[in-house]
């Protein structure tokens, strides 16, 4: 399978390095703004996007034109950009997720099931720790977990969920979800030690998305959907 990576930052580099160890995957090229994206996409089987929101808009145009599946892990897309992504997903298969970690996908699945089962009698607190360079807080992953819990409990938003954020050192990413009642507490936790986990998840998603019907999928679909 031939892969194009959009974005030459740390994640793009991590995915490219991981591709070197995969016998069934071939790197066609890495796209940066100003390069010939159309030619790269035309030569690919799947496009993996870890660029920036503006770059993602160019990627969406290219994958639509050439009918190529897309794996996108770009966070920070605004409402209009998400609407554009959904328009594209109506025509081609797209895996979009703010966190490509397999462990986080399992965590989200577990949080969703627990929140649905325990109900609103359990207060939910989500805490996260990241490196000092990360500007957004709460993290996209924390919000994703909160949205999963709220949706499972039939709540319109995450207003009933408490979020706590900390920035220190070079921590790649730690997340903890605590569900607590007056009589007991249940804790889920996930820690990242290297960015390779995101690269591995993105490549697993790339293998999975090939041949799928149009639609917007998430990492939970990659792991838990046939």
Is 134 one of the annotated active-site residues of the chain? yes
Q: How big is the chain by its Cα radius of gyration, in Å?
A: 18
Which DSSP helix (H) or strand (E) runs through 41?
Answer: helix 37-42
Q: Would strands 70-72 and 93-96 be described as parallel, antiparallel, or unpaired?
A: parallel
DSSP assignment string, 122-136: SEEEEEEEE-TT---
DSSP assignment string, 65-96: HHT--EEE------HHHHHHHHHHHTTSEEEE
Residue with tokens 């070197």: 20
Q: Please provide the size of the chain in residues.
A: 226
Of residues 109, 130, 175, 190, which has the active-site annotation? 130
Of residues 66, 109, 116, 134, which has the active-site annotation? 134
Is 130 one of the annotated active-site residues of the chain? yes
Residue with tokens 């397999």: 102
Residues 6+ apart with CB under 8 A from 66: 38, 41, 42
What CA–CA distance (Å, rounded) separates 111 from 115?
Answer: 6
* Active-site annotation, residues: 130, 134
């Amino acid at each position: 399978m031939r892969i194009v990576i959009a974005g030459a930052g740390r994640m793009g580099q991590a995915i490219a390095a991981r591709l070197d160890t995969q016998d069934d995957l071939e790197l066609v090229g890495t796209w940066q703004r100003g390069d010939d994206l159309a030619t790269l996409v035309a030569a690919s089987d799947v496009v993996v996007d870890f660029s920036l929101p503006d770059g993602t808009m160019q990627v969406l145009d290219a994958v639509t034109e050439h009918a190529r599946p897309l794996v996108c892990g770009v966070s920070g897309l605004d409402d209009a950009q998400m609407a554009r992504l959904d328009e594209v997903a109506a025509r081609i298969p797209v895996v979009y997720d703010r966190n490509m970690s397999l462990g986080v996908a399992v965590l989200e699945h577990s949080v969703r099931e627990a929140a649905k089962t325990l109900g609103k009698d359990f207060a939910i607190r989500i805490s996260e720790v990241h490196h000092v360079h990360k500007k957004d807080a709460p993290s996209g992953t924390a919000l994703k977990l909160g949205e999963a819990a709220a949706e499972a409990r039939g709540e319109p938003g995450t207003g009933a969920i408490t979020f706590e954020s900390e920035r220190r050192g070079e921590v790649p990413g730690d997340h903890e979800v605590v569900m607590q009642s007056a009589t007991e507490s249940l804790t889920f936790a996930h820690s990242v030690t290297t960015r390779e986990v995101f690269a591995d998840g993105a490549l697993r998603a790339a293998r999975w998305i090939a041949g799928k019907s149009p639609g917007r999928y998430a990492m939970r679909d990659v792991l838990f959907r046939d």
